Amino acid sequence: MGLALIVGLLGLLILFHAAYSTIQYRGLLKITEEEFSGPPFDVVIELFLGLLLCFWAALTAPGKFLSIHPHSEDNRIVSLPANLDFMIFNHRGKAFPVEMDLKLRQ
């Protein structure tokens, strides 16, 4: 998650730098009075690199897909605590209330 965000930011920075280079190139063309047919080759490479980094970040950053099958491995473990019918409060854990107090004080 953190890594993907950093990679995405890096890709954005590269894109901004490519934009800046293109602006400078346009300024140069204005002086030499030539027509603009496309950004220079190294800027195209830079754009492609930035796009690639952002592509990877966009696919990785939002998290993992979760299986929708009710019988799959992931859903079996999660489904028991999520079901309120299976919550039990009348167990031997209530014999140790001290630890709860300690947590609350800290």
Per CB under 8 A, 78 contacts another protein? yes
Q: Is 42 in the site for another protein (CB under 8 A)?
A: no
Angstrom distance (rounded) from CA 38 to CA 72: 51
Should residue 44 be labelled a site residue for another protein when binding is judged by CB under 8 A? yes
| Candidate segments 40-48, 87-95, 97-105, binder of another protein by CB under 8 A | 40-48
Does 1 interact with another protein (rule: CB under 8 A)?
A: no
Question: In sequence order, what DSSP letters do the residues of 35-73 get, joined into one string?
Answer: ---S--HHHHHHHHHHHHHHHHHHHHTT-------TTSH
In terms of CB distance, is 58 or 100 closer to another protein? 58
Determine phi and psi for 72, rounding to 5 degrees. -75, 165
Taking CB under 8 A as the criterion, which residues in 13-32 touch another protein?
15, 18-19, 22-23, 26
Q: Which is nearer to another protein, 37 or 106 (CB)?
A: 37
Retrieve residue 80's tokens: 């028991």
